[in-house]
C-alpha cells in the first residue's frame, strides 16, 4: 500500500492558517471543526477531481489542518505559538492515497466520533449524499427486521428510534446474508447542518453458512475483529499467525446510544452483483442472559490475548531450544556413527589374513590357500574316475532292489 506523507514544520513556509483552511472561527467547537473537515475532504478528494491536480494538494492541506485542530494539545500549542510550537515528529502525518485511481472511492477522508481515522472504501457519492441529507431513510422499529437487495457501491438507509428505557437496556443492530453477500454495516451521526456523517463501519464476515455484521451498544466495551492483522501475520510468518489471531481485536468507538433516532445503512460491497441482506434492530432487555454471556466472553478473550502474548515468548524460547537440541542430535549421531566405523576398521586390522578381494569371491567360489596349485590332467582323470564309480554304485543299488523284488514275486 502506497502512502504519502504530509510534513509538519518541515513543510513550505507559506502554510496557511488551519482555521482559514477549514473556514472555521478560532472558537469553533470540535463538532464544527469535524463537520467542516468532512465537507472539504469530500469536496477536494482526488477521486472526485481526477482532472484537477490541485485537488490532491488541497485535500492534504485540509487533512493536515484537521490533524492540528482535532487534537486538543496540538491546537493549544498552535494557538499559543503557531506552527513553530508543534513538534516535527508529532506532526508527520500519513494520508493513504493507495487507490486514488479508483473512481468514487473514499480513502482516509473521514474521522469517527473520537477522531480516529476511518480508512473506508465506501463510495464518495454515498457519503456526500448522506452529508447533504438527501438520502432516503426507511424506518426500522425495534424488534423488527427488513430484507432487501442493495446494488454495489450503493446503500440503503434505516432510522432506528429508541426510547429512554431501550437506550438504558442496550440496543443491537445486526445484518445477515444467507446468500453470503459481501456488505458493510454503517452507522451515521447527525451533523449540525442536518446531514449525516459516517461514524462507525463493520465489514461483513463469514460465520458458518451466512455472512454477518453487527453493532452492539450494550454499555460495556465490545470489540471488532480486524482480519487483516491475521492475514498480514500469516503472510509474514505462518507460525506466528496463531499468536496474532487475537491481536486483531479492536475496541468499538461507541458503546451506547442515547434515546432518539439513529441512522444505520447497509452498503453493497459485492464486486459484480447486488447484495442480499436482512437487517434487524433489537433491544437487549429481552436478551439479558445473552448480553451477560457476551460481556463475559469478551473479558475471557482479552485475558486469553494477554496469555497468548506471554505464551508466545515461552514458545519461541522453547522452539529455539528445540531447534538447538535437534541440531545437536544430528551432529552427535553422525559423530557416534563415525567413531564406531573407525573402531570396526581398527579391529579388522588385528589379523595376518588379508581381507579377501571381491574378485576371489565371484561366482560363489571360495578362496584358496597360498599353497594350492592349479589341477593337472591327473586331477581331471581322477574326477572322471570318481564319477564313473558313483554311477556303478547307483546301478548296483538299483539292481539289488530289482533282484529283491523279483525274489518276492517268485
What's the average model confidence in pLDDT over 62-71? 86
What's the average model confidence in pLDDT over 154-158? 96
Weakest mean pLDDT among 181-190, 197-206, 242-251, 269-278: 242-251
Q: What is the pLDDT of residue 367?
A: 45
- Cα torsion 128, 131, 132, 137: sign: positive
What's the average model confidence in pLDDT over 256-273? 91
The pLDDT of residue 286 is above 50: yes
The upper half-sphere exposure of residue 237, i.e. CA atoms within 13 Å in the direction of its Cβ, equals 7
Hey, what long-range contacts does 389-395 have (CB within 8 A, 24 or more apart)? none
Question: Whole-model pTM?
Answer: 0.58
What's the average model confidence in pLDDT over 274-287? 95
Q: What is the pLDDT of residue 239?
A: 72
H/E/C letters for each residue in the chain?
CCEEEECCCCCCCCCCCHHHHHCCCCCCCHHHHHHHHHHHHHHHCHHHCCCCCHHHHHHHHHHHHHHHHCCHHHHHHHHHHHHHHCCCCCCCEEEECCCCCCCCCCCCCEECCCCCEECCCCCHHHHHHHHHCCCCEEECCCCEEEEEEECECCEEEEEEEECHHHHHHCEEEEEEECCCCCEEEEEEEECCCCCEEEEEEEECEEECCEEEEEEEECCCCCEEECHHHHHHHHHHCHHHCCCCCCCCEEECCCCCCCCEEEEEEEEECCCCCCEEEEEEEEEHHHHHHHHHHHHHHHHHHHHHHHHHHHHHHHHHHHHHHHHHHHHHHHHHHHHHHHHHHHHHHHHHCCCCCCCCCHHHHHHHCCCCCCCCCCCCHHHHHHHHHHHHHHHHHHHHHHHHHHHHHHHHHC
How high is the mean pLDDT of the chain?
77
Q: What is the pLDDT of residue 233?
A: 66
Largest CA distance in the chain: 149
φ, ψ dihedrals at 207, nearest 5°: -130, 105
Segment 374-406, tens digit of pLDDT: 545 545 445 555 555 555 554 554 454 444 444
* Residue 230, number of CB atoms within 10 A of its CB: 17
Q: What is the pLDDT of residue 94?
A: 38
Higher pLDDT, 356 or 68: 68
Angle formed by the axes of helices 54-69 and 72-81, nearest 10°: 100
What strands, in cross-sheet order, belong to the sheet with 210-217?
Answer: 144-150, 275-283, 171-177, 210-217, 205-207
Q: What is the pLDDT of residue 408?
A: 45
Residue appearing with cell numbers 449524499: 129
Higher pLDDT, 171 or 7: 171
Segment 97-129, tens digit of pLDDT: 333 333 333 333 333 333 334 445 688 788 888
d(CA 28, CA 20): 12
Percent pLDDT > 70 in the chain is 72
- Cα torsion 73, 74, 79, 81: sign: positive
The pLDDT of residue 90 is above 50: no
Weakest mean pLDDT among 218-227, 259-268, 401-410: 401-410
Is residue 253 classed exposed, middle or buried when 0-12, 13-18 and 19+ CB atoms within 10 A define those classes?
middle
Amino acid at each position: 500500500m502506497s502512502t504519502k506523507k504530509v510534513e509538519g514544520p518541515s513543510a513550505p513556509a507559506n502554510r496557511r492558517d488551519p482555521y482559514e483552511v477549514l473556514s472555521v472561527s478560532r472558537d469553533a467547537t470540535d463538532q464544527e471543526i469535524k463537520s467542516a473537515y468532512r465537507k472539504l475532504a469530500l469536496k477536494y478528494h482526488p477521486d472526485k477531481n481526477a482532472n484537477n491536480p490541485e485537488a490532491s494538494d488541497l485535500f492534504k492541506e485540509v487533512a493536515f489542518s484537521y490533524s492540528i485542530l482535532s487534537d486538543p494539545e496540538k491546537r493549544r500549542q498552535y494557538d499559543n505559538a503557531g506552527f513553530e510550537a508543534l513538534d516535527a515528529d508529532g506532526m508527520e502525518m500519513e494520508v493513504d492515497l493507495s487507490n486514488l485511481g479508483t473512481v468514487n472511492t473514499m480513502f482516509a477522508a473521514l474521522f469517527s466520533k473520537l477522531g480516529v481515522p476511518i480508512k473506508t472504501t465506501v463510495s464518495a457519492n454515498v457519503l456526500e449524499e448522506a452529508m447533504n441529507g438527501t438520502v432516503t431513510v426507511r424506518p426500522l422499529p425495534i424488534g423488527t427486521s427488513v430484507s432487501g437487495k442493495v446494488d454495489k457501491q450503493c446503500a440503503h438507509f434505516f432510522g432506528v428510534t429508541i426510547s429512554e428505557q431501550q437506550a438504558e437496556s442496550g440496543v443491537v443492530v445486526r445484518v445477515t446474508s444467507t446468500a453470503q453477500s459481501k456488505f458493510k454495516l454503517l452507522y451515521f451521526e447527525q451533523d449540525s447542518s442536518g446531514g449525516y456523517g459516517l461514524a462507525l463501519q463493520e465489514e461483513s464476515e463469514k460465520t458458518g453458512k451466512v455472512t454477518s455484521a453487527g453493532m452492539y451498544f450494550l454499555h460495556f466495551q465490545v470489540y471488532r475483529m480486524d482480519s487483516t492483522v491475521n492475514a498480514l501475520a500469516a503472510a509474514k510468518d505462518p507460525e506466528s499467525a496463531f499468536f496474532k489471531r487475537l491481536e486483531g481485536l479492536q475496541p468499538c468507538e461507541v458503546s451506547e446510544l442515547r434515546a432518539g433516532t439513529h441512522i444505520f445503512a447497509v452498503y453493497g460491497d459485492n464486486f459484480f452483483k447486488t447484495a442480499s441482506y436482512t437487517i434487524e434492530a433489537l433491544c437487549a432487555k429481552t436478551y439479558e442472559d445473552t448480553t451477560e454471556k457476551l460481556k463475559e466472553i469478551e473479558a475471557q478473550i482479552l485475558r486469553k490475548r494477554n496469555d497468548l502474548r506471554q505464551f508466545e515468548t515461552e514458545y519461541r524460547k522453547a522452539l529455539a531450544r528445540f531447534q538447538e537440541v535437534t541440531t545437536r542430535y544430528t551432529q552427535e549421531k553422525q559423530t557416534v556413527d563415525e567413531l564406531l566405523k573407525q573402531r570396526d576398521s581398527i579391529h579388522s586390522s588385528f589379523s595376518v589374513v588379508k581381507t579377501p578381494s571381491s574378485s576371489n569371491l565371484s561366482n560363489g567360489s571360495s578362496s584358496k590357500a597360498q599353497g594350492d596349485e592349479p589341477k593337472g590332467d591327473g586331477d581331471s582323470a581322477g574326477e572322471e574316475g570318481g564319477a564313473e564309480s558313483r554311477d556303478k554304485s547307483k546301478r548296483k543299488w538299483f539292481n539289488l532292489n530289482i533282484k529283491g523284488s523279483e525274489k518276492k514275486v517268485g
